[in-house]
Amino acid sequence: MIDPVLLRNDPDVVKRSQRARGNDESVVDEALAAESARRSALGEFEQLRASQKVMGERVKAASKEEKPALIAEAQEFAAAVKAADARAKEAEAEFDRIASRIENIVIEGVPAGGEDNFVTLRTVGEVPEFDFEPRDHLELGELLGAIDMERGAKVSGARFYFLRGVGARLEIALMNMALDLAMRNDFTPLITPTLVKPEIMGGTGFLGEHADEVYHLKDQDLYLTGTSEVALAGYHSDEILNLERGPVRYAGWSTCYRSEAGSHGKDTRGILRVHQFNKLEMFVYTDPANAEAEHDRLVSWQEEMLQALGLSYRVIDVAAGDLGSSAARKFDIEAWVPTQGTYRELTSTSNCTTFQSRRLQTRFRTETGKTAPVATLNGTLATTRWIVAILETHQNADGSVTVPEALRPYLGGLEVLSPVEGT
Known binding positions for ATP: 258-260, 274-277, 345-348
Compute the Cα dihedral for 208, 212, 218, 220 and give only its sign.
Answer: negative
Question: x-or-dash pattern for RNA, window 309-348, by CB under 7 A?
Answer: ----------------------------------------
**In 3D, which of 203, 209, 285, 211 has the Cα closest to residue 244?**
285
Quick one: CA dihedral 144, 281, 351, 212, positive or negative? positive
93 binds RNA (CB under 7 A): no
Least gap, CB of 330 to RNA (angstroms): 27
Least distance CB 364 / RNA (angstroms): 10
Q: Are 98 and 27 a contacting pair, CB within 8 Å?
A: yes
Query: What is the pattern of x (binds RNA, CB under 7 A) and - over residues 348-387?
Result: ---------------x-----xxx----------------
Give the relative orientation of helices 11-21 and 26-61 as an angle to the nearest 10 degrees: 140
CB of 84 to RNA, least distance (A): 10
- Catalytic residue, from 164, 345, 400, 408: name it: 345
Distance CA 212, CA 232 (A): 21
Residue 266 within binding range of RNA, rule CB under 7 A: no
**Residues ≥6 apart with Cβ < 8 Å to 162:** 147, 148, 151, 152, 155
- Distance of alpha carbon 290 from alpha carbon 272, whole angstroms: 34
How distant, in Å, are the alpha carbons of 91, 128, 136, 400 from that of 132? 67, 12, 12, 13
Our CB check for RNA shows the closer of 157 and 369 to be 369
Q: Does 100 bind RNA (CB under 7 A)?
A: no
Binding site, by residue number, is: 227-229, 258-260, 274-277, 281, 345-348, 378, 380
How many residues are recorded in the chain? 423
- What x/- string results for residues 70 through 89 when contact with RNA is judged by CB under 7 A? -x--xx-xx--x-------x
3-state secondary structure string, 117-140? Answer: HCEEEEEECCCCCCCCCCCCHHHH
Contacts of 265 (CB under 8 A, 6+ apart): none
Q: Considering the candidates 87, 101, 273, 365, report the single residue annotated as catalytic.
A: 273
**Does residue 59 interact with RNA by CB under 7 A?**
yes
Residue 345 is a catalytic residue: yes
- Binding map of RNA across residues 199-218, x = CB under 7 A, - = no contact: --------------------
Residues that bind RNA (CB under 7 A): 4, 39, 42-43, 45-47, 49-50, 52-53, 55-57, 59-60, 71, 74-75, 77-78, 81, 89, 240, 363, 369-371
Residues noted as catalytic: 258, 273, 345, 348, 385
